[in-house]
Amino acid sequence: MGEAQQPTKLCSQLASCQSRLAVSLLRQSFSLSAPMAEYHLSAQLHGHEDDVRGICICGDVGVATSSRDKTVRFWMQDPEKKREYVLSKTLVGHSSFVGPMVWAPPSDRFPEGAIVSGGMDTLVLLWNLHTGEVVGTMRGHTSQVTGLAIDDNGDIISSSMDCTLRRWRDGNAVEVWEAHKVAVQTVLKLPSGELFTGSSDSTIKLWKGRTCLHTFSGHADTVRCLAQMPGMGILSASHDGTIKLWALTGQPLLEMIGHTSLVYSVDAHSSGLIASGSEDRSVKIWKDGICVQSIEHPGCIWDAKFLDNGDVVTACSDGVVRIWTTDNNRFCSDEELATYTDIISQYTLSRKTVGGLKLMDLPGVEALQVQGNTDGQTLIVREGDNGVAYSWNSKELKWDKIGEVVDGPGDAAQGQVYDGAHYDFVFNVDIGDGEPIRKLPYNRSDDPYAVADKWLLKENLPLTYRQQVVEFILQNSGQNNFVPDPSFRDPYTGGNAYVPGQPSSSNGSAPKQTFKHIPKNGMLLFETAQFEGILKKITEFSATLASDSEQKHLSLSEADFSRLAAIVKVLKNTSFYHTSKLADADIVLLLKILKSWPSQMMFPVIDFLRMFVLHPDGATLLLKTIESGNDVLRETFRKAVAIPVHSPNVLTILKAVTNLFDNPCLHQWLKTHCAEIIDSFSSCKPSFSKNAHLAYATLLLNYSVLSIESKDEQSQAQILSAALEIAEDDAQDADSKYRALVAIGSLMLNGLVKSIALDLDVKSVASSAKASMDLKIAEVGADIELLTR
């Protein structure tokens, strides 16, 4: 045993030596022996209408910020009040939330500099700061753009959830390569030339051109952000709650532990200070690897960056940009500080729980004026910042005070992280007999018996402790009224969960989470049509063509109209689809019209095709034509979405493509062209009508079902990204939003993209949905929230 332990001890000693060496180098490099002055609030920049997602320091010109509100805003220092900033420009061009940005210094082309931004809409946009206009749109990514960098030669490098890096030159992609097998979260270009990427696979890669020179491993979860540590190497922030310092050779030098949730950003200053931002609502300032200050915010911190003067700029989910300074000449006024302190207090109070209940949801003391219903009835009321329990005394007709309600060992720390995962509670369990304290993670949605069994096996403890562990969980999670799932089956005895006083059964099945709206099974279709209206419009357009000497040959003959009428008769009799037939000549006529008629006249024929493919023969005839080498379906699709966009064409082709999902024989065609179809429709979204938005959401929902069946992770990621855009758009109607949310939940539950959804902040989407006044949206929001635990 002794020999087996020596390597572990030696590794531990080496790691300790490396950390001490790193701290020593930090101190030598940056001379930080003097006590550090604390950061104080300097300024607050109001203007964004939603979460601020990114910060870009634009030299000494100003600061750019990006937001979930789809804008980039550029702020300049107030010439009169040096500590304050004023909004200079609002850059509008993205169709979804904006994330990464990078600054291009002034040049001949851009005298005031330029900004490059990337968004959920998959676009990379180049902005001229002098005019505030988009001067370059780079299309190619199939999922959210997550990182940006500018090379020495002016090339733009972008990373994306689609697993690729792209190099852009003069607006064109000159290089594209798969950097990781899963989402790329960030890209960093050092002045010395090194290019690094961080990924959801928990690794960092060093690149030379398209060749990976080295892979850095050490994080236990997604690597979200990379930053240069001058003179030392690079810093990484991770969803595992840590920040790491790495040598450029890949050697881990230092680990900084202090955040209690996902770490989204990290940055370093030339002085050697490090700033990190987290889901735990704090920005932490690190010196020599030690956290020397934690700055609380009223929301999660998406980004934190140093200004050259050492001030720190933070991007918060409350929509406010804040600047923090150690220079007392730039401190904000006492009134502004008092207001901010009050906001923090109110926010903390709104999240405070007592006995598992939200303090703000408790009734006030006035509730004690109402008599109780039964003797011993318990009532918890809010008294100041505390919850106090009372018991109804029916003999004396008054409420007797029981005492102050306190949190269980996990209530006060919502969203605790253990082994890189989030839990409602992480209990400290004292087994006794000199045994060390054990950690027991638990979510309210879990079956306590299943959790107890799994934990006892993991900790190598006797299963005889089972009931004690379950009672401990229920008591400390405020679930004393817990009713076991009757379908629960003990994995060891085959019986149901033991409940004192109740007989156990030997039948049942394993417990599992239940959801109201996910996963989606089967396809949604557009099965109704006004055939008379469709034929009337086709007749009208044919007459228009017949009256034009140059287009007369495109008009339909009497025989053509007779054939269309015969097809309609077959399509109307849906109850006879199992016996009725369509002929080769039928599909030939439809495709001839689609191919030859002007694009502005296509929509009634596309609508005809929408119904045609619902007939078994119709789908088979269409596939037969495609397999013969004549993919007129793809040709029709491209013609229908071509610029300039014709709204009726877009709506009808959306519904027609959605109906293709009805017959499995066309599923391969749909899978092959998935990326093109979603990209093309996404580009058309500005022209969408309400009905088109619903059809697009339906298309994505069907694609989610198909991609889950085929286990196509790349398609799932693109579908997820597109569905999140809909779910986050407050202008969407309830039906469209609901279908997008069902697609998201289904992909998370049965697909391969749950981690990507978490990286894309699906928690916020679920939270917003849960607060909806529409019941079905609120319920599917609750379904998705269960999956984030």
Arithmetic mean of pLDDT, 451-456:
78
pLDDT in tens, 620-664: 999 999 988 888 899 999 999 988 888 999 999 999 999 999 999
Give 744-774 as a DSSP string. Answer: HHHHHHHSS-HHHHHHTTHHHHHHHHHT-SS
For 60-69, 465-474, 570-579, which range has the lowest pLDDT when averaged over its residues? Answer: 465-474
Burial classification of residue 729, based on how many CB atoms lie within 10 Å of its CB (0-12 exposed, 13-18 middle, 19 or more buried): middle
Burial, 358: exposed, middle or buried (Cβ in 10 Å; 0-12, 13-18, 19+)?
A: middle
* Mean pLDDT of the 30-41 span: 69
CA–CA dist 701, 696 (Å, integer):
9
User: 33 pLDDT band (50/70/90 cuts)?
Assistant: very low
pLDDT band at 437 (very low <50, low <70, confident <90, very high): low
What's the sign of the alpha-carbon dihedral 327, 332, 333, 336?
negative
Adjacency order of strands within the sheet including 172-178 = 145-150, 156-160, 164-169, 172-178
Sign of CA pseudo-dihedral 635, 636, 639, 641: negative
Which residues, in sequence order, are bridge partners of residue 156? 150, 168
Backbone angles phi, psi at 511, to 5 degrees: -70, 150
Residue 583: pLDDT above 70? yes
The pTM is what? 0.61
pLDDT (mean) for 74-102: 90
Residue 499 is given by DSSP the state B
| pLDDT beyond 50 at 422 | yes
pLDDT grade for 483, boundaries at 50, 70 and 90: low
Model confidence band, residue 60 (pLDDT cutoffs 50, 70, 90): confident
Res. 84 pLDDT band, cuts 50 70 90: confident
| Cβ density class 97-117: b for 16+ within 10 Å, e for less | bbbbbbbbeeeeebebbbbbb
Give the confidence band of 708 by pLDDT, cuts at 50, 70, 90: very high
- Using a 10 angstrom Cβ sphere, with 0-12 exposed, 13-18 middle and 19 or more buried, the burial of residue 322 is buried
C-alpha distances in Å from residue 756, one per residue of 104, 145, 216, 415, 584: 30, 13, 21, 19, 45
Taking residues 326-346, what's their average pLDDT?
Answer: 90
Q: Is the pLDDT of residue 263 over 90?
A: yes
The mean of the pLDDT values for the chain is 84
Q: What is the pLDDT of residue 434?
A: 53
Q: What residues contact 423, with CB distance under 8 A and at least 6 apart? A: 410, 416, 417, 441, 442, 443, 789
The pLDDT tens digits for 212-234 are 999 999 998 899 999 999 889 99
413: enclosing H helix or E strand = none
- Put residue 788 in one of left, alpha, beta given phi > 0 → left and psi -120 to 50 → alpha: alpha
Rounded to 5, what percent of the chain is helix, strand, coil?
Answer: 35, 25, 35
Category of 356 on φ-ψ map: left (φ > 0), alpha (ψ -120 to 50) or beta: left
Mean predicted confidence (pLDDT) in 412-416: 49
Paired residues of 74 in beta bridges:
64, 89
Whether cis (ω within 30° of 0) applies to the bond prior to 105 is no
C-alpha span between 332 and 546 (Å, rounded): 75
Residue 173 contacts residue 140 (beta carbons within 8 Å): yes
SS3 sequence of 161-230 = CCCEEEEEECCEEEEEEECCCCCEEEEEECCCCCEEEEECCCEEEEEECCEEEEEEECCCCCEEEEEEEC
Q: In this structure, are residues 158 and 179 in contact, taking their beta carbons and an 8 Å threshold?
A: no
Report pLDDT for 432: 53
Element containing residue 647 per DSSP (H, E)? helix 647-659
List, for residues 718-733, the tens digit of each pLDDT value.
999 999 999 998 888 9
Per-residue confidence band for 358, with pLDDT thresholds at 50, 70 and 90: low
Q: What is the pLDDT of residues 484-542, one digit of tens each?
A: 544 444 443 334 443 433 433 334 333 456 788 898 888 999 988 899 999 999 999 99
User: Residue 375 CB: number of other CB atoms within 10 A?
Assistant: 10
Q: Is 358 strand, coil or helix?
A: strand
Average pLDDT over residues 614-620: 92
Mean pLDDT of 63-92: 91
> Residue 308 corresponds to which amino acid?
D
pLDDT of residue 6: 35
DSSP string, 64-94: EEEETTSEEEEEEE-SSSTT-EEEEEEEE--
**Cβ(184)–Cβ(199) under 8 Å?**
yes
In the block, tokens 């992480």 appear at 426
Helix (H, G, I), strand (E, B) or coil at 523: coil
Q: What is the mean pLDDT of residues 391-411?
A: 71
* Alpha helix segments (H runs only) across 352-460: 448-458
